[in-house]
């Protein structure tokens, strides 16, 4: 069975694009759209990797990342954060909180595949 990626994102176009790109490359992609219940989704069945949007309804990706890194069961799951805002302060905060990679939207298909492969194989 392929590796499982959990995409936590609230923009339908981004969900569709990333799901398609990764599924076509052999990944099993699960999606979740709400920041408030994201940790419940993660804890129910921890994925091999998480792609996490910064701005989510209910709770920010930064808050979710902080919780992930504080819990033993999820502390080592690779996390790639996505943001529409390419500000340095957002990138610095994400990396300081423990993101493995910080990527700005828009992105290329090959960039997504390459980063996911690298993070899961790391």
Do 74 and 46 meet the contact criterion of CB atoms below 8 Å apart?
yes
Percent of the chain with pLDDT over 90: 78
Burial of 29 (0-12, 13-18, 19+ CB in 10 A): buried
pLDDT digits (tens, 9 = 90+) for 79-113: 999 987 767 888 888 989 999 998 888 888 899 99
Contacts of residue 14, Cβ cutoff 8 Å, sequence gap at least 6 = 53, 82, 105
- 10 Å Cβ neighbour count for 1? 4
Confidence of residue 71 (pLDDT cuts 50, 70, 90): very high
Judge whether residue 1 has pLDDT over 90.
no
Backbone angles phi, psi at 102, to 5 degrees: -130, 120
C-alpha 1: how far from its chain's center? 20
- Please give the residue range of the domain that contains residue 85: 4-121
Contacts of residue 99, Cβ cutoff 8 Å, sequence gap at least 6 = 52, 65, 79, 80, 81
Number of domains in the chain: 1
Mean pLDDT of the 18-44 span: 96
What CATH number does the domain containing 99 carry?
A: 3.40.50.2300
pTM of the model: 0.94
Candidate from 31-40, 54-63, 79-88, 108-117 with smallest mean pLDDT: 79-88
Return the pLDDT at 86: 66
Return the pLDDT at 2: 65
Judge whether residue 32 has pLDDT over 80.
yes
Return the pLDDT at 13: 93
């Amino acid at each position: 069975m392929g590796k499982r990626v959990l995409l936590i994102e609230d923009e339908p176009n981004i969900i569709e694009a990333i799901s398609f790109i990764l599924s076509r490359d052999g990944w099993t992609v699960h999606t979740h759209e709400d920041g408030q219940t994201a940790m419940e989704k993660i804890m129910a069945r921890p994925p091999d990797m998480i792609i996490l949007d910064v701005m989510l309804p209910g709770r920010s990706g930064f808050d979710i990342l902080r919780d992930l890194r504080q819990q033993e069961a999820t502390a080592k799951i690779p996390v790639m954060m996505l943001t529409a805002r390419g500000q340095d302060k957002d990138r610095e905060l994400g990396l300081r909180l423990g993101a493995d990679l910080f990527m700005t939207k828009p992105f290329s298909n090959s960039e997504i595949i390459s980063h996911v492969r690298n993070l899961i194989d790391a």
